[in-house]
Homo-oligomer: A and B are copies of this chain.
Amino acid sequence: PETDVDRKFKLSQTIASPIGHVISPFLTKSGTPHQPGQMDTTSTIKLSQGSTGKAIKQRWMPKDALEGLEEYSHCWIVFHFHLNDPESNGKKSKVSPPRGGGTKVGIFASRAPYRPSPIGLSLVEIASVNHDKGELIVKNCDLVHETPVLDIKPYIPDYDKPDDDKEVKVATWLEEKNSKNSEIKGISFTSRADLKIQELFSVTEYDSAETLKSAITKMLMNDPRSIYRKTQLEKGEKNKLFFLNFSNLTVTVWFDGDYAEVLKVEPYYEHKKG
């Protein structure tokens, strides 16, 4: 017989309805940063314009739901890790997080995307709200293009920040990796890549070759590779190149120890064809 708690828990399984999705320069998982950091990127959260009562319960989200959000400097994006394979979701209770250098920790001691409930949380800076279009424009968003957004909540220090007089502790493996993580010490661009940046910046949202180059540099400084990729490299897969699919471009990068060389810049669709 169904108990009261059973009934409640069943309800809990159908609660998440996307209210919109992300329009982002990060076109694929490859190259998308593991932490927002200090990227010079802008993304848009577009409220869904579908209608209630369709087969998929994609909500019609009235634009006035965003009213007043411009009064805050920051907000949370609650999102679905939609690129996870549902089959692998939350099957493991322990994981090796990207910054952990191989350390295995319980899933709840990490922010790894493969979780029992694949709900992500991302703090972003509010750039502006386009009330006419039902769009929220944000800075430093680390979400892949088309990520379904489940909720937007204003950042309120009273709720979301530990008391100033309380010591904040994080796992030692995270602190150690903080330094280890910024281990990319030099980045250069081949002259062929340089030329292509001159030629292609106009298809991106950057207004000059310099700003585009600086954005790519910042992304590489943060080392967007997964721990898996790095481990493979250490195991001897030195011949594998890394692709950054970003802002309508594919950037081919060679990581050599603490050094990154940008080898090629091409339109994203050409890379897909090739």
One of A106-114, A195-203, A226-234, A248-256 at the interface: A106-114
Q: Is the CB of A12 within 8 A of B8?
A: no
Q: Which residues of B lie under 8 Å from residue A57 when comparing CB positions? A: 13
Interface residues of A in 62-110 (CB under 8 A from B): 62, 64-69, 71-76, 78, 80, 82, 86, 90, 93-94, 105-110
- Among candidates B82, B117, B151, residue contacting A11 with C-beta atoms closer than 8 Å: B82
Q: Is the CB of B116 within 8 A of A59?
A: yes
Measured between C-beta atoms, what is the minimum distance from A71 to chain B in Å?
4
Q: Is the CB of A93 within 8 A of B119?
A: no
Q: Is the CB of A12 within 8 A of B116?
A: no
The distance in angstroms between the C-alpha atoms of A59 and B117, with both chains bound, is: 10
Q: Which residues of B lie under 8 Å from residue A35 when comparing CB positions? A: 158-159
Asked, given contacts A65-B106, A105-B68, A168-B155, whether A162 binds B13 with beta carbons under 8 Å apart, the answer is no
Q: Is the CB of A56 within 8 A of B148?
A: no
Contact with B along A1-14 (1 / 0, CB 8 A): 00001101111111
Interface centre among A12, A64, A106, A122 (most CB of B within 10 A): A12
- Among candidates B59, B66, B119, B167, residue contacting A119 with C-beta atoms closer than 8 Å: B119
Q: Which residues of B lie under 8 Å from residue A58 when comparing CB positions? A: 6, 9
The distance in angstroms between the C-alpha atoms of A136 and B108, with both chains bound, is: 11
Contact with B along A128-147 (1 / 0, CB 8 A): 00000000100000000010
Measured between C-beta atoms, what is the minimum distance from A107 to chain B in Å?
5
Q: Is the CB of A16 within 8 A of B111?
A: no
Asked, given contacts A93-B62, A109-B67, A111-B154, whether A11 binds B73 with beta carbons under 8 Å apart, the answer is no
Measured between C-beta atoms, what is the minimum distance from A57 to chain B in Å?
6
CB closest residue in chain B, given A65: B93
One of A170-178, A235-243, A264-272 at the interface: A170-178
The distance in angstroms between the C-alpha atoms of A14 and B89, with both chains bound, is: 12
A125 at the B interface (CB under 8 A): yes
Interface centre among A11, A19, A36 (most CB of B within 10 A): A11
Q: Is the CB of B12 within 8 A of A169?
A: no
Q: Is the CB of B123 within 8 A of A86?
A: no
Q: Which residues of B lie under 8 Å from residue A76 when comparing CB positions? A: 121
A interface list, Cβ under 8 A from B: 5-6, 8-19, 21, 35-36, 38, 56-59, 61-62, 64-69, 71-76, 78, 80, 82, 86, 90, 93-94, 105-111, 115-119, 121-123, 125, 136, 146, 148, 150-163, 166-172, 174, 178
What 5 new A-B contacts, CB under 8 Å, besides A67-B94, A117-B150? A66-B108, A67-B109, A110-B154, A111-B154, A125-B166
